[in-house]
C-alpha cells in the first residue's frame, strides 16, 4: 500500500469515528452536566443527547443529520518529508468518506447553491500550522452549520484587560448560544489581527475539553468564562438550565496596541473530532 493510500484510509477512519462516536471527553462532560443540571427539562434533553450518542455509536450512524463542514487542523512538522502530499490525501479521504459513511453532501456554491458533495473549492477546509519536528498531526472537526452561524468577531476596547474581554465574549454568547445547539463548546481567540483571532478561536475547539491552557492567566479566564456562561440560564437546547457550555477554551496572540480583536467560535454539543498522526517514516496512527 502506498503512503498516500495509507493516509487516506487512516483519515477516512478518523472521519468515520468522529461522525458516529462522540469523543470520550465530550461524552464524559455531558454526563457530568447531567448530574448537576437543576432543570428537569434540561436533564431530559441531556439524557436524550446521550441516548442519541449511544445509538449512533452502536448502530454506526451519524450523531446528527448535519454531518458538518469537514475541517482539518494540520500541525505540520517543518522537517516532515511528506508535506507535499498530505493535502491531496485529505481531499481524497473526504471524498471517499462522503460516499462510504455516508456524510451528508454539505458543500454548495455560495451563489448558485450547486451541491458538490463535501469536496470543492476551499472544501474541505484545511488549516495549516507549521511547527518544529518531523511529525504531522491532523485533527478532523465536523463543523455543524448551526454553530458556525454563531461565530463572532468582536473588537474590544484595549485597556480593559481580561474583564473587558470576558464581558464582550459573554454578551456575544448570550445572544447566539440558543441557536448553536447547546450545551456548546466556546472557542475564544484573543489578539493578533482580526483573521488570526478567528483562526485561534477555531483552533481552540480542537483541544480536549478537560485540558486548560498552560498559561495560568488564560486558564483562569477559561474557568471564569465557563462559570459566567453557565450562569446565563440558557441551558441544554436553550430550554433553560445550567448546562449552556461544556468548556471554554482560549488561545491568544500578541496584538497591536490600538487593536484588540477577539474571535468567538462555538461548537455544538455534537463536538465531533478525531485525530491522526503521521510519523517521519510516513506511518499513520490514530491519536487517542
Ligand atoms: S449545530 Fe450541531 S447539533 Fe445542531 S444541527 Fe448542526 S451539527 Fe447538529
Ligand 1: centre distance to CA 194 (Å): 26
Residue 130: CB atoms within 10 A of its CB come to: 12
Per-residue model confidence (pLDDT) at position 248: 98
C-alpha cell at 218: 488564560
Residue nearest to atom 6 of ligand 1 (CA): 144
Per-residue model confidence (pLDDT) at position 87: 97
User: Can 3-21+61-144+272-287 and 146-267 be said to share one CATH topology?
Assistant: yes
Q: Domain coordinates of the chain in residue numbers?
A: 3-21+61-144+272-287, 146-267
Per-residue model confidence (pLDDT) at position 200: 98
Radius of gyration of the chain (CA): 19
End-to-end CA distance of the chain: 24
Residue 108: CB atoms within 10 A of its CB come to: 14
Per-residue model confidence (pLDDT) at position 2: 87
The response to whether residue 144 sits with its C-beta less than 6 Å from ligand 1 reads: yes
Residue 65: CB atoms within 10 A of its CB come to: 8
The response to whether residue 146 sits with its C-beta less than 6 Å from ligand 1 reads: yes
pTM above 0.95, yes or no: yes
Per-residue model confidence (pLDDT) at position 288: 77
* Ramachandran bin of 158, using left for φ above 0, alpha for ψ from -120 to 50, beta for the remaining angles: beta
- Please choose from 61, 146, 271 the residue to mutate so as to test ligand 1's pocket, defined by most ligand atoms within 8 A of CB: 146
* Ramachandran bin of 235, using left for φ above 0, alpha for ψ from -120 to 50, beta for the remaining angles: left
Ligand 1: centre distance to CA 144 (Å): 5
pLDDT in tens, the chain (288 residues): 788 999 999 999 999 999 999 999 999 999 999 999 999 999 999 999 999 999 999 999 999 999 999 999 999 999 999 999 999 999 999 999 999 999 999 999 999 999 999 999 999 999 999 999 999 999 999 999 999 999 999 999 999 999 999 999 999 999 999 999 999 999 999 999 999 999 999 999 999 999 999 999 999 999 999 999 999 999 999 999 999 999 999 999 999 999 999 999 999 999 999 999 999 999 999 997
Instruction: For residue 231, say if its preceding peptide bond is cis, omega within 30 degrees of 0.
Output: no
3-21+61-144+272-287 classified as CATH 3.60.90: no
Residue 93: CB atoms within 10 A of its CB come to: 27
**Topology of the domain covering 146-267:** 60s Ribosomal Protein L30; Chain: A; (3.30.1330)
Amino acid at each position: 500500500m502506498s503512503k498516500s493510500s495509507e493516509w487516506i484510509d487512516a483519515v477516512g477512519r478518523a472521519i468515520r469515528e468522529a461522525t458516529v462516536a462522540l469523543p470520550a471527553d465530550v461524552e464524559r462532560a455531558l454526563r457530568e452536566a447531567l448530574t448537576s443540571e437543576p432543570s428537569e427539562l434540561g436533564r431530559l434533553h441531556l439524557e436524550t443527547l446521550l441516548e442519541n450518542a449511544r445509538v449512533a455509536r452502536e448502530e454506526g450512524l451519524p450523531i446528527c443529520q448535519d454531518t458538518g463542514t469537514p475541517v482539518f487542523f494540520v500541525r505540520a512538522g517543518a522537517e516532515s518529508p511528506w508535506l507535499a502530499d498530505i493535502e491531496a490525501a485529505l481531499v481524497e479521504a473526504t471524498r471517499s468518506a462522503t460516499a462510504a459513511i455516508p456524510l451528508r453532501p454539505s458543500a454548495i456554491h455560495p451563489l448558485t447553491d450547486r451541491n458538490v458533495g463535501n469536496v470543492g473549492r476551499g472544501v474541505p477546509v484545511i488549516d495549516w500550522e507549521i511547527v518544529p519536528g518531523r511529525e504531522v498531526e491532523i485533527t478532523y472537526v465536523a463543523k455543524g452549520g448551526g454553530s458556525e452561524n454563531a461565530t463572532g468577531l468582536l473588537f474590544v476596547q484595549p485597556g480593559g484587560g481580561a474583564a473587558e474581554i470576558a464581558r464582550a465574549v459573554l454578551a456575544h454568547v448570550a445572544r447566539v448560544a440558543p441557536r448553536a445547539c447547546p450545551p456548546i463548546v466556546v472557542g475564544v481567540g484573543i489578539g493578533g489581527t482580526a483573521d488570526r483571532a478567528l483562526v485561534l478561536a477555531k483552533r481552540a475547539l480542537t483541544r480536549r475539553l478537560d485540558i486548560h491552557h498552560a498559561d495560568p492567566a488564560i486558564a483562569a479566564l477559561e474557568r471564569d468564562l465557563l462559570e459566567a456562561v453557565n450562569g446565563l440560564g440558557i441551558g441544554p437546547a436553550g430550554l433553560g438550565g445550567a448546562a449552556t457550555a461544556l468548556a471554554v477554551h482560549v488561545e491568544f496572540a500578541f496584538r497591536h496596541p490600538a487593536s484588540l480583536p477577539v474571535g468567538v467560535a462555538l461548537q455544538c454539543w455534537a463536538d465531533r473530532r478525531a485525530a491522526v498522526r503521521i510519523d517521519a517514516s510516513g506511518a499513520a496512527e490514530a491519536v487517542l
